[in-house]
Chains A and B, each alone.
Chain A
Amino acid sequence: MTAETATFWLAVVLYALATLASVAGLAFSRQRLEGAAFGLTLAAFASHTASIVLRWIDTGRLPYVQDYENALSGTWAIVLVYLIMSYTWPRVRVAGVVVFPFVLLTVGYGLLVPSDPGPVTPAYRSVWLVIHVLFAWATYAGYVAAASLAGVELLKARRRKPLREDSLLARTPDAARLGEMTFRFVVFGFIVNAAMIASGAIWAYELWGSYWRWDPVETWSLLTWLAYAFYLHAHTTLGWRGAKLAWVAFLSLFGVMMSFWGVQVLPSSYHLFRSLGEGNFDMGRGR
């Protein structure tokens, strides 16, 4: 087992414990468990960072090409945004109850796919691809943060009985404030999502001679962007607030998940990075 694999595994285990602590903390309203979840996340993040640095040193490049590397780096961005959010607004730490399972699922998926770095073929050597992937990570991080805050708002809205003063949910900001914070993350995600689509379009033209091909990943990415565009219009133009709007933010995350995982079951997509390192010089992959 390499140092990179060991640190990655350690991060996965710590994220799993953080998930358990977070869910238990919320279920039993134990602040100590929530604190433990946060501490475990910090430790997992440190190990996760070490894993990325080791990978980077090993390959001599930013880990951005394979599914494994995207799971590794994408989840790092998600956790980073969660930590910044929790540092800025400590009362929303409980949002980890949505963030951690998402992170755990993604890193778990990363463990199942090939991780051998291998040489990078010419198709993946593009500055536009790097920009595209960086914006994709930022997009996912922004949308996951938004969904986690919307999730907290929904959990609060579902409570019929008044919250006990010492409960974790009672410590969170009121619904209006949570809605405003969700909105900010959606705005952030929406802008970087547009940048991701634009940089991907430029890369696609330089590589395949067409900026848009209605590839399933492109389609889901656009679908996700439109779903969040709907959220923004519902908020600013139609004046939606509260649980109805929170549901839109929460469910739109499905589009993000489909872009990342849904395409893995497809018979054909330009965005499948499984064939990396094959010997032939052929850009017409799968077509």
Chain B
Amino acid sequence: MVARLIRVIASARLAAWLIGVQLGFLVASFLIPQRGIFPDDQVDSFLGAMPGPVGWLFDALALDHVFTSALYYAAAGLLAVNLIVCTWERVAKRLGRAATRGTGAVPDTALVLAVRDPVAVASVLASLGARATEVGEGETRYYLRRGGAGFIGSVVMHAALVLVLIGGVLTGVTTFRGEMLFTEGQARFDTPDDYLSVSQVPSVGSAFRDFAITLKSMEFTYEDGTVVDAVANLQVTDASGDREEAARVNYPLKVRGKSFLLQDAGHSVWITVTDPAGTVVLDSFVNLLNVTDRGYEDSFGLPNGELQILSRPDASQPLDEKMTEGLRITSPIVGLSMADPDASEDPVWVVPGSAGVTVGGYTMRVNEVRVWNRFMVRADAGRHVIYLSFALIIAGTLVRFIDPDRWLKAALAEGPDGARLHLWGAVRYSARALPKEADLIARLVSPPADPSEPVAGADMGDNPSKEVRRDS
């Protein structure tokens, strides 16, 4: 019972079915909008448009998030078990085959050849490096093996697929996802309070580490009005001291297992607002999060209304024209207004460092304009396992097909009606990959051009229709 179960679990047929199931999941994920990839309202609207039973089915099978569903985990887990058992079976089978060296029973499917000159056949087999074992009087068994590296490659490749699943699980339990916002000159610590948001913390290990980062400055390069390079010059402070680092898009800053990925940027305005009573109600950098053709803008609530701030990078550009090269701040100018955002009242334009102006009854002074940057912060220990797995898959597959695993067994025996050679084995796909063995087989199994001419001491025997068996 157990042996049968193992056979089923280790079968290539089950592997093929499970690959088919994986394909099914992938097709479902393509046809049905997935949560986490598409916005929730889009997914809800898609599911809402489905007829009742279909919607219920989608819900029951969690087809709107197939890759985090129990069904998917079960299928992936079973595939992992199949891969492990299958690989183990192959290793055991191979070791067993090597151990017997062809001394077991001759299979019915073996090719039988009448041999005219047994010494010549033995000589050919010996020249190929076949191991000879005497199994009885007048009978010698030969075992020829090739592709040891290919076999290891195959095992490595299949083991690496299991490693991919392990890497996926590791990612699930070690992922940290957060966002951090910096203004130039600002330092942030790796503590929950200093993050703009934290959406996922690892289930194992510590989420926060002991270091700080300071955004010293930002540099932007433009080409035809488009940012083509952005560099964040940073200072990292940890137990080992201070060090200067740079982060770019595609080249994140990596500190103690966390990656800081440069995302978007905008203007940050240091403004001091004093109310009519002389009380300072705002004195800090405010980050302008919206970008329009006019500039970087945002609004902030004050006791008597909404303060609109609009920042442009270069005062020499006409104010009614579209802003260009917005992040290269050369001679900034800031527009302030307390008007209704829908009204078209012109703002009061202020150059940073100039005297305060009165807007909506408040005295406002713009001190400085800098750049803010948003960094996506990620930690994922599983990714290294995934990268390693893929390297092993590629290397294993390469080796597997460069030097394919194959073996050949032969039994050479004297009988009452002359010598007979039984030949059986596993011959892989390519004749070119098996020059010597294939040549041997060709010479042994092909009828000679002139029947009176023996080929390598053998000719077609009593079973010429049989082929050398192809199996796994």
Contact = CB atoms under 8 A, between A and B. Distances in A.
Interface of A: 118-123, 125-126, 128-129, 180, 183-184, 187, 190-191, 194-195, 197-198, 201-203, 205-216, 219-220, 222-223, 226-227, 229-230, 233-239, 267-268, 277-284
Interface stretch (B26-34, B116-124, B413-421, B440-448): B26-34
B146 interface: no
B364 interface: no
A13 to B, nearest CB: 32
Contacts of A268: 37-38
A194 B261 contact: no
Contacts of B220: 281
Contact of A122 (B23, B230, B387, B431): B230
Given A122-B250, A280-B291, A191 B397 contact: yes
Nearest to A269: B37
A119 B261 contact: no
Contacts of B38: 267-268
B261 A208 contact: yes
| Nearest 7 Cβ contacts at the A-B interface | A198-B390, A122-B249, A209-B378, A119-B223, A126-B250, A281-B227, A237-B12
B429 A180 contact: yes
Interface of B: 12-13, 15-16, 19-20, 22-23, 26-27, 29-30, 34, 36-38, 42, 67, 171, 177, 220, 223-230, 248-252, 259, 261-265, 291, 326-327, 376-378, 380, 383, 386-387, 390-391, 393-394, 397-398, 401, 428-431, 470-472
A221 to B, nearest CB: 10
Contacts of A118: 224, 226
Given A206-B251, A208-B261, A282-B263, A219 B230 contact: no
B387 A238 contact: no
A120 B431 CA distance: 48
Given A194-B394, A215-B37, 14 more contacts: A119-B223, A119-B228, A194-B397, A197-B390, A202-B387, A209-B259, A212-B386, A223-B30, A226-B26, A230-B16, A239-B470, A279-B225, A280-B291, A282-B263
Given A119-B223, A215-B37, A203 B430 contact: no
A3 B36 CA distance: 45
A123 B249 contact: yes
Contacts of B259: 205-206, 209
A203 B263 CA distance: 15
Contacts of B225: 279
Nearest to A216: B30
> Which of A219, A226, A282 gathers the greatest number of chain B CB atoms within 10 Å?
A219
A123 B248 CA distance: 9
> Which of B27, B223, B250 gathers the greatest number of chain A CB atoms within 10 Å?
B250
Contacts of B376: 208-209
A91 B13 CA distance: 36
Nearest to B228: A119
Nearest to B86: A237
Contacts of A212: 386
> Which of A126, A191, A226 gathers the greatest number of chain B CB atoms within 10 Å?
A191
14 contacts: A122-B229, A125-B250, A129-B250, A180-B430, A191-B397, A198-B387, A206-B251, A206-B261, A208-B376, A212-B386, A226-B23, A236-B472, A281-B220, A281-B327
A143 to B, nearest CB: 15
A136 to B, nearest CB: 15
A209 B200 CA distance: 13
Contact of B472 (A180, A209, A237): A237
A202 B227 CA distance: 23
